[in-house]
Amino acid sequence: MSAQTPTQTLARALTAPGLRARKGGEKIVCLTAYTTPMARMVDAACDVVLVGDSVGMVLHGLDSTVQVTMEMMILHGRAVRRGIRRALMVVDMPFGSYEASPERAFDNAARLMAETGCGAVKLEGGESIAPTIAFLVARGIPVMAHIGLTPQSVHGFGGYHVQGRGGTRFQLGRDAHAVQEAGAFAVVLEKVVEPVARQITGRLVIPTIGIGASPACDGQVLVLDDMLGLFADFQPKFVRRFAELGTQAEVAIAAYAQAVRDGSFPGPGHVFADTP
């Protein structure tokens, strides 16, 4: 890998205002990444790299995102930053880091931006968190909103259920408009029924980024490990596996174990003689 000059490192082709301007145009493509090598691969093909708090479930074995900490987001954020040249990097604010007050939210969002070098933060919630979004935006922090199924509220929801059925569609509409009015540059719609996702996308002036929210959205996001077939604990219905890397890894690991046990690895080509 060639060293990057400081200027190249700072140059960011994609910005929050730039993505906002894509409303209704070219699809916004987003995937998560938690490490430098994964970030490099996502950066090469996508517009947005999301350091999702899903990292807690995918890489750390936690059973929800509720236990994810600022320290985890910063550590993974710093790793991801080193792999990005062009994409917009967005870091999830973890549960407990932004709900208590706009001031607390600002301190933590500023810390995420300063310590990871991300270009925006994402936080979960609609109408109720909109004043906090406005507080951050007014102070120079681009915010991606996230409504519908908000996994940090899994204990309040009682599960990862589909959102927007029946009368709840009206609250979802209010949430969408509230985060837009608060100044969010885009909004993630998670596991929202198709007609509601379509209607919200049609009414908002900011892009919607769907995950389980139909192709009507202005963009799409998935957890990278899900679409690569690397995450096996559960699979939401909205995931398409574009590869089966987990199966390939299992096969490779079993082959390695067998080769070590039967003496065929290391072979002649992996051995060092005492003279060069």
Q: Which residues are annotated as a binding site for Mg(2+)?
A: 53, 92, 124
246 lies in the binding site for ligand MHF (CB under 6 A): no
| Residues 6+ away with beta carbon under 8 Å from 204 | 23, 176, 177, 180, 187
Cα first-last separation, the chain: 28
CA distance 42 to 235: 21
The interface partner of residue 106, options being Mg ion, ligand MHF, ligand KIV, none and the CB cut-off 5 to 8 Å by kind, is none
Restricting to residues 30-49, which ones interact with ligand KIV according to CB under 6 A? 32
Six-digit token string for 220: 């799409």
Note if the bond before 207 is cis, omega within 30 degrees.
no
C-beta of residue 205 within 8 angstroms of C-beta of residue 177 = no
Please, which residue, 179 or 223, has the CB nearer to ligand MHF? 223
Show the site string, 22-61: x = touches ligand MHF by CB under 6 A, - = not: --------------------------------x--xx---
190 counts as catalytic: yes
**97 contacts ligand MHF (rule: CB under 6 A):** no
Closer residue to Mg ion in complex, CB, 53/175: 53
- Kindly state whether residue 165 participates in binding ligand MHF, applying the rule CB under 6 A: no
Q: Cβ closer to ligand MHF: 95 or 135?
A: 95
Q: Which of 114, 54, 120, 116 is nearest to 79 (CA)?
A: 116
52 scored as a contact of ligand KIV (CB under 6 A) = yes
Tokens of 130: 């909109």
User: Residue 254 burial (CB < 10 Å; 0-12/13-18/19+)?
Assistant: exposed
Contacts of 221 (CB under 8 A, 6+ apart): 30, 31, 32, 48, 50, 188, 209, 210, 211
| Residue 32 interacting partner from ligand KIV, Mg ion, ligand MHF, none (CB closer than 5 to 8 Å by kind) | ligand KIV
Q: What is the SS3 assignment for 144-182?
A: EEEEECCHHHHHHHCCCCCECCCCHHHHHHHHHHHHHHC
- Residue 225 interacts with Mg ion (CB under 5 A): yes or no: no
Q: Which is nearer to ligand KIV, 9 or 41 (CB)?
A: 41
Distance separating alpha carbons of residues 87 and 69, to the nearest angstrom: 24
53 binds Mg ion (CB under 5 A): yes
Q: Which of 95, 135, 185, 231 binds ligand MHF (CB under 6 A)?
A: 231
* Options 143, 176, 187, 188; binder of ligand KIV; rule CB under 6 A: 188
- The residue annotated as part of the active site, out of 99, 190, 194, 244, is 190
To ligand KIV, the closest distance from the beta carbon of 79 in angstroms equals 15
Instruction: Rule CB under 6 A: say whether 173 interacts with ligand MHF.
Output: no
Q: Catalytic residues, which ones?
A: 190
Residues making contact with ligand KIV (CB under 6 A): 32, 50, 52-54, 92, 146, 188, 211, 221, 223
Residues making contact with ligand MHF (CB under 6 A): 54, 57-58, 65, 151, 159-161, 223, 225-226, 231, 234, 236-237
